Homo-oligomer: A and B are copies of this chain.
Amino acid sequence: MVYDGELFHMLYRAQGEDMVSRIGYAVSTDGIHFNKFEKPVFSPKSDDELYGVEDPRITKIGDEYYMVYTAYSPRGVRIAMASTKNFITWKRYGVVIPDIDNKDAALFPEKINGKYVMFHRIPPDMWLAFSDDLVHWDNFVKIASPRQGMWDDLKIGVGAPPIKTEYGWLVLYHGVQNTGTSRPIYRLGFMLLDLEDPTKVIKRSKEPILEPEEDWEKFGGVPNVVFSDAMIEYNGYYYVYYGAADNCIALATIPVEKVMKWCRE
């Protein structure tokens, strides 16, 4: 999801009867009512995507929309990238981080100290990678790990491209808690990173900002999950779009001022 000042552009994963994930497009003028295309706009094209393409995160850089996504194949999941200006025709870069089992990627909207920056996830931790050209990524740095005894004690991953604030980079992330059963709980929280050096974590939510409460968040294809790919600033609120129980897309909002207060504290 990205908001261009006039339209909300949503990319979302959907699965057909063949169980292959593809990416659909929906557009909105208010962030709430969407008009969907009947057919996907981005589908698997390579052996790295035999099981599908998932988790699209969009970042506008210059006049191009960059989508990082999960390429899923018998080899495992990996981070891939494509770009577009119109959400219909795409330039494909393929897998940009070759590590297996790496996903949960998101691009920063601007260069920092002359480098492009991307979140990625080497389980169970959140990492950054750096690049000169958006295609070749190196200098992997681990920035955050699960916290024992807390809501994010099993694994964590970025939930949306970061938003620049006066206090730092505001990052939505998901935390998974080990419940001692085969059903961990996915929740959402905030992380604040240093503007100049985003490998420095300034603070993290002690409690989650969103957790499964509704029936449609608790029961479904993957139960007890709220999992986000996008957060938009709009009309004084952050709009958090998230997948609920792997079945539907939902929206939660939180006043920007409330989050800024947390940043300041």
Contacts and interface: CB of A to CB of B under 8 A. Distances in A.
Interface of A: 6-7, 27, 29, 35-39, 41, 86, 88-89
14 contacts: A6-B86, A6-B89, A7-B88, A7-B89, A27-B88, A29-B89, A35-B37, A35-B38, A35-B39, A35-B88, A36-B37, A36-B38, A37-B37, A37-B38
Contacts of A35: 37-39, 41, 88
Nearest to A36: B38
A140 B242 CA distance: 56
Nearest to A41: B35
Contacts of A86: 6-7
Contacts of A38: 35-38
Given A29-B88, A35-B37, A37-B38, 16 more contacts: A6-B86, A6-B89, A7-B86, A7-B88, A7-B89, A27-B37, A27-B88, A29-B89, A35-B38, A35-B39, A35-B41, A35-B88, A36-B37, A36-B38, A37-B37, A38-B38
A86 B27 CA distance: 11
A89 B38 CA distance: 20
A29 B86 CA distance: 11
Contacts of A27: 37, 88
A45 B208 CA distance: 44
Q: What are the 8 A-B residue pairs with the smallest beta carbon separation, nearest first?
A: A35-B37, A35-B39, A36-B38, A27-B88, A7-B88, A37-B37, A29-B89, A6-B89
Nearest to A38: B36
Contacts of A39: 35
A27 B35 CA distance: 13
Among A6, A7, A27, the one with the most B-chain Cβ atoms within 10 Å of its Cβ is A27
A35 B35 CA distance: 12
A39 B27 CA distance: 11
A64 to B, nearest CB: 14
A7 B35 CA distance: 19
Nearest to A24: B35
Nearest to A37: B35
Nearest to A39: B35
A38 B24 CA distance: 12
